Amino acid sequence: MKSSIFIPYLLRDGAILQRNQENRFWGYTGSEQEVTLLYEKILLKTKSDEKGYFDFILPTHEVSGSIDFKISTADAEIVLKDICFGDVFLLGGQSNMQLWMERLKIRYPDEIRKAKNTKIRYFEVPQTPAFCKKQEEVQSGKWKFAVGKNLELLSGIGYFFAKEQYEENQVPIGLICTAVGGSPINAWLNEEVLKELNLLPDYYTELKNTEYHEKLKRLDERYQEEYQKLFEMSDIGVEENWQNSNYNDKDWDRVYLDKSWSQHYQNPGSVWLRKQINIPTHLIGKNALLNLGTMIDADETFVNGQKVGGIDYQYPPRIYEIETLSEVLTIAIRLKIYQLLGGITQTKEHIISTEGEIINLDDSEGWRIKRASYFPERKAQYFPQYEPTGLFNGMIYPLSKLKISGIFWYQGESDSHEYNSYGMKFSKLIQEWREIFNNQKIPFIFVQLPNCSEKFGGKHWAELREEQAKSLNLNYTGMVVSIGDGESDDLHPTNKKVISEKIYQCYKQINNGHIWGYCSGPRATKVNQVGNNLFVSFQTYGKKLKLRNHVFLEVFRNGRIEKLSNVELIGNQIKIILPAGLELIGSDITYNWSNNPQVLITDDIDHAAAPFKLKIS
């Protein structure tokens, strides 16, 4: 009987293998078969085991161009094309690491069009959680070039890092993408680690029962389907065609997209907005983009009665194409609010843009508004990939035979409500992943949460940032301080190039010998009181400390927070002058201790200092 050869998806056409290290190359064929691997002038031989598994150890190889690999047995042969030796990086975390280039095209309009480099490639690991056991192989996937339509689906952080790295050393880059939007840290941890930390939930054994997931998914799908069906049926605006241009809305109330609304219009249910605009004569007939920012939660948007777009959840920006601008334009928005409090983000742009001209939709006329229905809040959707250990078993462990150059992590938004144990879990994750890849010196660089208001990011981001920073106690770690790089009104800031540049600098610093926990900006190490002065000492990583205007720190004393703003810079220390006789030893002092802090302390290249909470000694 003729045997076939199966090569894992990770090693197929276009794969990037780690240069300057021995690599494993494995696959499956018939039981106890002789297997040969030929590439360039290298010929390797092995024998499959009784289950058909075979494994080669490839000798160390310097950076290369495209190489074909031929694998053969006595009765089968396959050729894998265009494999390169370069640098391989793992991208982990949740949606901010995942955020793909297509979502960034407004900020970086020329990147996708100009990208031509086929030596930057990526592999998207399928989102397949597993609970019964650790998976040996990924279940599907292919290597893709970071060009054209493929680039639209690649992590923006990953792409900008790879682009900068390639421009410096001309080495092929392979990105292994594992980030899953909304995923908590427990999903990325091993069962043994969570058990050791006493953090396995009571229902964990149920997760190993496939029927348990299927039952929850069926119940959730039925609920979500029924909810949406009833929601749609309750909307009188749909029944009465409120999207039509000739609909009479003169009795409707008036609101402004850039100002707050009464709660009447923010409660769950369906709300309609309408606006009529006279288009300047020289723009009539042009195509245009309608930019309405972000919304909570879903929308359907119409222009002159025709639907131009709609998005069914809150985070993506609403940017819709208008094919032809008419003399009079009627915009109608059906806003579907599923949770308290809904609406349209006030601080985003609301414009029509065409041919370099802008029509502002936040004018004095405002918008007409009317509620079409009230409805109960919708329950959160069930995602099995958020359950503990599932993504570690299904997405990380199958990568364990690979050799990689570094791990980049951006996660924490989903854990701010349970921040107390995050630092402990995160340190365990770093150690566990390094163990998986059999290399305790892999650079692990993570992004500290940026500034974002509580309305959009949830509470306790200051505490979560402090928990993240604890992992700098591990060697070969780097922390990107992203204060000032976020957006107060958006969970997904779009300036990912800035973040990738800081990741790149951290990665270079670690490779150049700074192995004891590197931070992209100044990091406070201690605070001492001497007489009537506090001295805050910083590690600045060879740079100089800088202060901006209105610098202040805060101290918690006598049950209240007091602001300390009499501040001087002395070298790489901050001196805080206190009122005479004020004793603060033993109190906590904080800097930028809020969800949405501002950049007040930097280094001499304007990188923000990390927020901190320290005990005064």
pLDDT tens string 49-87 = 999 999 999 999 999 999 999 999 999 999 999 999 999
Q: What is the pTM of this model?
A: 0.96
Helix (H) and strand (E) counts in the chain: 13, 36
For 582, other C-beta atoms within 10 Å of its C-beta total 13
Is 587:554 a contact under the CB 8 Å cutoff? no
Instruction: Decide which of 3.30.230.10, 1.10.10.60, 2.60.120.260, 3.40.50.620 is the CATH code for 240-374.
Output: 2.60.120.260
Q: Is the pLDDT of residue 190 over 60?
A: yes
Question: The sheet that has 553-557: what strands, in order across it?
Answer: 560-564, 553-557, 588-591, 612-615
Is 336:372 a contact under the CB 8 Å cutoff? no
Helix axes 461-469, 422-436, angle to 10 degrees: 40
Q: Model confidence at 449, in pLDDT bands (50, 70, 90)?
A: very high
pLDDT at residue 369 in the model:
98
Is 448:607 a contact under the CB 8 Å cutoff? no
Q: Is the pLDDT of residue 1 over 60?
A: no
Give the helix/strand (H/E) hosting 83: strand 77-93
Q: CA-CA distance, 31 to 123, in Å (whole number)?
A: 30
- Least-confidence region, from 178-192, 378-392, 396-410, 570-584: 570-584
Q: Model confidence at 2, in pLDDT bands (50, 70, 90)?
A: low
pLDDT at residue 252 in the model:
98
| Residue-range domain boundaries for the chain | 240-374, 524-615
Q: Is the pLDDT of residue 559 over 90?
A: no
**What residues are paired with 54 via a beta bridge?**
27
Q: Above pLDDT 90, what percent of the chain? A: 95
Q: Model confidence at 558, in pLDDT bands (50, 70, 90)?
A: confident
Q: What is the residue-wise DSSP string for 145-212?
A: ESSHHHHHTSBHHHHHHHHHHHHHH---EEEEE---TT--GGGGS-HHHHHHTT---TTHHHHT-HHH
pLDDT at residue 549 in the model:
81
pLDDT at residue 526 in the model:
96
Q: Above pLDDT 70, what percent of the chain? A: 100
Count of alpha carbons within 13 Å of 486, Cβ hemisphere only?
28
Q: Is the pLDDT of residue 134 over 90?
A: yes
Q: Is the pLDDT of residue 351 over 60?
A: yes
Q: Model confidence at 3, in pLDDT bands (50, 70, 90)?
A: low
Burial (CB < 10 A; 0-12, 13-18, 19+), residue 108, is middle
Q: Model confidence at 422, in pLDDT bands (50, 70, 90)?
A: very high
pLDDT at residue 615 in the model:
95
Of 113, 109, 127, 125, residue with least CA distance to 158: 125
Mean pLDDT computed over 282-306: 97
Instruction: Decide which of 2.10.25, 3.30.1560, 2.60.40, 2.40.160 is the CATH code for 524-615.
Output: 2.60.40
